[in-house]
Amino acid sequence: MLFKRILIANRGEIALRVIRACKEMGIETVAVFSDADKESLHVKYADRAVNIGPALSYKSYLNMDRIIAAAKETNACAIHPGYGFLSENADFAQACVDNQITFIGPSAKTIAMAGDKSVARQTLIALGIRVIPGSDDIVSSADMACAIAGPLGYPVILKAAGGGGGRGMRIAHTPDALVGAFAMASGEAKAAFGNPKLYLEKYIEKPRHIEIQILGDSQGNYIHLGERECSIQMRYQKLIEESPSCFVDETLRKTLGETAVKVAKAVGYTNAGTMEFLVDKDKNYYFMEINARVQVEHPVTEMVTGVDIVEQQILIAAGESLKLKQDDIVLNGWSMECRINASDPADNFMPSPGQIESVIFPGGPGVRVDTHIYDRYMVTPFYDSLIGKLIVWAKDRPSAIRRMKRALAEFEITGIETTIGFYGRVFDDERFQRGDIDTHFLDSME
């Protein structure tokens, strides 16, 4: 039985995305908002809206007690966490269950396992899944890191055990650099995730970042929806994504998909999730991590498969079994996404908050814009700089590139700096056009 009312514990474009899916499914919605977001479109479009506190995230969007209270006040029977904020917080998922509210996502136990990268790594090794060589457990000191790095060979990378998104990560090419990096990575991990623990891996130079979208229901049915290429990154933050990948052939696609499903089954994963891999130039693949939530880049998968991933999340959480079988999933055409950030590429991508004077959105065949901004909208300094996503679909990769360039040329935001113009340079680059990319592509641009 579907939910009568869902609370969306998020803001911005992802809150709107979930609200729209709910409306099409005949489900009532409750928005939550901070003082800074009272004029946001997700507040306007929801059936009900509840103020959950001041602008600072820890007083509003990270305030578990206030969000649970808002769900109870409005008789919401489920909570969709979106991405970021509390979406991968096992305590929040458990708090929902303890209060007889359905959490639209995997179980608290699965989130805890996936969120602790060291535990997840050990689990995968036990399954025989190929992971990047590195420490078997938490690295407790710089001396221990150096002892492990020696046999592995430099460069190595330190990673936060309790989080991702590029925070708490440091690359070291020498023992001295590793010693210096340890304290910085640990401090950053503690500040970002409340957990200073680190683990260490051999650093794979110039890899591709390939991820597999999976769906799993509570009856034990699993499918994957193909791959996304996420190699265009700046400081480990993805900027451009596409599906499929021009580097992944049918054999590798089958292997990665089967591996992703194997992992999902082994950890009892339910709902939508992403299994992330690094793939080297010789197509050797290494499992990297589980992202236990809907991804920012999920639209490119929706565009080439025709599957509404947010709708599937809701149906699975409501206890329904997957109606889709693996043979039903056929990748049709090519999709690309550019993350539109309120940041200044000319100033090292520093955030650019302020009031938007005017917006002109692109349109035409095969163009989708997921955003919450409008004329005179105030971009505050309190949250992530993402203000929208430009997604295109076309029959093949060259056509998708041309369509994206056309859409970028039509997209106009005045009053603040954005990444729109920067993407034009990327799509004009001959190496990008022929698919010669890796996670360091942007570093090599002139």
Enzyme catalytic residues: 293
For 368, phi then psi, to 5°, come to -130, 135
How far from 166 is each of 140, 203, 440, CA to CA, in Å? 20, 14, 14
Distance CA(335)–CA(329), nearest Å, equals 15
For residues 28 and 9, is the Cβ–Cβ distance under 8 A?
no
For residues 48 and 19, is the Cβ–Cβ distance under 8 A?
no
Distance CA(52)–CA(375), nearest Å, equals 25
Residue 412 structure tokens: 């106009």
Residue 63, strand partner residues:
none
Helix (H, G, I), strand (E, B) or coil at 256: helix
Distance CA(100)–CA(71), nearest Å, equals 10
Strands 28-34 and 5-8: parallel
Within a 13 Å sphere around the CA of 411, how many CA atoms are in the beta-carbon half?
A: 30
Distance CA(359)–CA(369), nearest Å, equals 12
Tokens 């799509």 sit on residue = 427
Residues 6+ apart with CB under 8 A from 193: 160, 162, 163, 167, 168
Within a 13 Å sphere around the CA of 175, how many CA atoms are in the beta-carbon half?
A: 8
